[in-house]
Amino acid sequence: MTADDASTLAEALRDRAPSVPADWRVDVCARTGSTNSDLLERRDGAPCALFALAQTGGRGRRGRSWTAQPGDSLTFSLRVRFDGRADRLSGLSLAVGVALAEALTAQGFDGLALKWPNDLMRANGQGAGKLGGVLIELASAATHTDAVIGVGINLAPPPPGHYALPPAALFDGTPPQQDWLRIAAAALDALAAALPVFAAQGFSAFVERWNRLNLHAGCAVEVEGEMRALGGLCVGADADGALLLDCGDRIERVLAGDVSLRAPVRN
Ligand code: BTN
C-alpha cells in the first residue's frame, strides 16, 4: 500500500464516520507491530485513530497476542484524553464493547454478545466464539488521563491454533476491502459517538445495554482472578463495570478476572 492509498483509505473512513470530530487525526498504515504501542508513544494530547491492515506484534489482555494478516482482522486503536484520574474510567472497556456490538448488529451481523470484561462474542454454531477484544492502556497525569483503546475484530476465521476461547468471525473468508472499510467506519463512528457520552456520564449510561448483551446472564460461571477463583450465578455488570455474582448467601462484586461457564456437576 502506498502512502497515497493509506491517506485515501483514511479519508474514506472519515467520510463514512460522521461522528468523528474534526480535530481527530485518522491514520491508516499497511503494517505495524502494535497500534496500541504506536499511539502510546505519541506524546501530544491530540485525539487520534490508527488502523493497521496487518499487525505483527499486537497485544491482548493478560500477555496474549493479537496478530493480523491483511484483510483478515480489523485492528485499530484510538487515543483520547479524559479529564481526571484513571479511576473515573472504570467500565470504559465495557462501554466500548456495547458501542462495537451495537454497531456490528446495525451492519447486519447477528449473534453478537459481550463477555465480561473485554470480549466481543458471536454465535458460531457450537455456542459462542470470540469475535474480538478490547485492550485499554492508560497514562495518567495530574489533571487528565490518556486512554489508548485498542480493538481487534476477526473479519475472517483466524488460522488454526491454540486460543484461550474458540474463535468466531464476521465472514467465512477474507472479505473484499469494501467490507473492511464499511466495518472499520461503523466501529470508528460508534466509538466517536460513545466516548463523549462516557466522558459525561460514565458507564452508567451503558450499563443496561451491556446487561442486555451479557453472554452469561443468569448462567452459573466461574471467575478466575489473580488471587482466587469464585463461582456463582452471573447477575450482570453494575454501574461501575464490576461483575456481580450471586454466590447464594451474598452478592460479590468482581473487579478483574476471566469468566467461564461452570462445568455441570456430574452425579
Ligand atoms: C484481547 O482480547 O485480549 C484484547 C485484544 C486487543 C487487540 C487489539 S488489535 C489493535 C490493538 N493493538 C494491540 O496491540 N492490541 C489491540
Q: How far is the CA of 38 from the centre of ligand 1 (A)?
A: 12
State the Cα torsion 94-99-100-106 to the nearest 10°: 150
Structure confidence by residue, pLDDT tens digits, 58-114: 999 888 899 888 889 999 999 999 999 998 999 999 999 999 999 999 999 999 999
Query: Grid coordinates 483520547 are at which residue?
Result: 80
DSSP secondary structure string, 102-128? HHHHHTT---EEEETTTEEEEE-SSSE
CA 110 from chain centre, in angstroms, equals 17
Query: What is the CB < 6 Å shell around ligand 1?
Result: 34-36, 55, 58-61, 64, 66, 75-77, 118-119, 133-135, 150-152
Structure confidence by residue, pLDDT tens digits, 211-226: 999 999 999 999 987 7
Burial of 265 (0-12, 13-18, 19+ CB in 10 A): exposed
pLDDT of residue 112: 98
| Atom number in ligand 1 closest to CA 118 | 2
**What single DSSP character describes residue 87?**
G
Q: Whose CA is nearest to atom 16 of ligand 1?
A: 150
Distance (Å, rounded) from C-alpha 86 to C-alpha 80?
13
Q: Whole-model pTM? A: 0.95
| Atom number in ligand 1 closest to CA 73 | 9
Q: How far is the CA of 79 from the centre of ligand 1 (A)?
A: 14
